[in-house]
Amino acid sequence: MAGHHLGRTADRSNGDVTAVERYLTELATHLLGPRRARTAILAETRDGIHEAIQRQLTHGQRPDPAAELAIIEFGPPVTVAASFADELATIQARHTIRALLLTGPLVGLCWLFLLAHPPWPVEPLALWAAIPILPIVGVAVTVGLIVLVSTGSMTRYLPEPPPSLSLLGAAAISVVCLTADLTMLAVLAAHLAHHDRLALPLAGIAAILSLIRLAVAGPLAARCLRARRRLARMPQ
């Protein structure tokens, strides 16, 4: 009899677990953003629901109704996902901008060494002539830093921009990277066509780095713009 009771309890426990995992599976389909952030949200929600079940059991509920009540307490998956939409959008924008700002100097320095030999020109016009995309890169870096600062720890002092604006900034910076890389590859092609003296190994490295970033920046921009469109459609 005791074994039968334990068997029934085990079945109900499995039912609880199945109900929770079904809920989390559905929640996962509605969460949109970087994978690590989504995984963290699911892990935290799983823990919270199990604590809610435990609370119901402590109040005398049976396991199956306890799981149902805990899931009802947390709310429909689509509603819960909508509540995380802004946060995931901001994380998406921050990840994109950080990745581009961190790789930018590496790519930029390769082109600088290749096309503007030391001693580098200090006059702005001469530097601009050597690296035509410098002004637009400067604007992109400024926008990126503003978004990172205003969505990080400085939110305690500064108003946080709407997530859709942060995503737009991230997409714009990705497009600037695309433009910059395409421009520098075109400049390199022009130099090679004129048989200008260039350090070919460095030219190869610079070209490869730009091609890699082209392959990455395009999808990053598309991902940010898609996230922005989905954010606009999310129920508030």
Partner 1 sequence: MRPEALKGHLDGLLLAVLEDGPRHGYGVIEAMRQDSGGTFDLPSGTVYPALHRLERAGFIKSRWSMVGGRRRRSYELTAAGRRTLREERDGWAQFSAAVSTVLARAPWPAIT
Cβ-contact 61, 69 below 8 angstroms: yes
Stretch that binds partner 1, among 6-14, 77-85, 176-184, 218-226 (CB under 8 A): 77-85
56 makes contact with partner 1 (CB under 8 A): no
Task: Kindly report the backbone phi and psi dihedral angles of residue 122, in degrees, each rounded to the nearest multiple of 5, phi listed first.
Answer: -100, -20
Q: Which of 151, 166, 174, 210 binds partner 1 (CB under 8 A)?
A: 151
152 makes contact with partner 1 (CB under 8 A): yes
The continuous run of DSSP H or E covering 130 comes out as: helix 124-130
80 makes contact with partner 1 (CB under 8 A): yes
**Three-state SS string across 54-68, please?**
HHHHHCCCCHHHHHH
* Closest to partner 1 by CB, 52 or 172: 52
Q: CB of residue 6 vs partner 1: minimum separation in angstroms?
A: 19
Q: Which of 205, 235, 200 is nearest to 85 (CA)?
A: 235
43 makes contact with partner 1 (CB under 8 A): yes
Q: Which of 82, 143, 185, 202 binds partner 1 (CB under 8 A)?
A: 82
Burial of 58 (0-12, 13-18, 19+ CB in 10 A): exposed
Q: What does the alpha-carbon distance between residue 134 and residue 115 come to, in Å, rounded to a whole number?
A: 13
84 makes contact with partner 1 (CB under 8 A): yes
Chain positions contacting partner 1, by CB under 8 A = 40-41, 43-48, 50-52, 55, 73-75, 79-80, 82-84, 86-87, 90, 151-153, 155-156
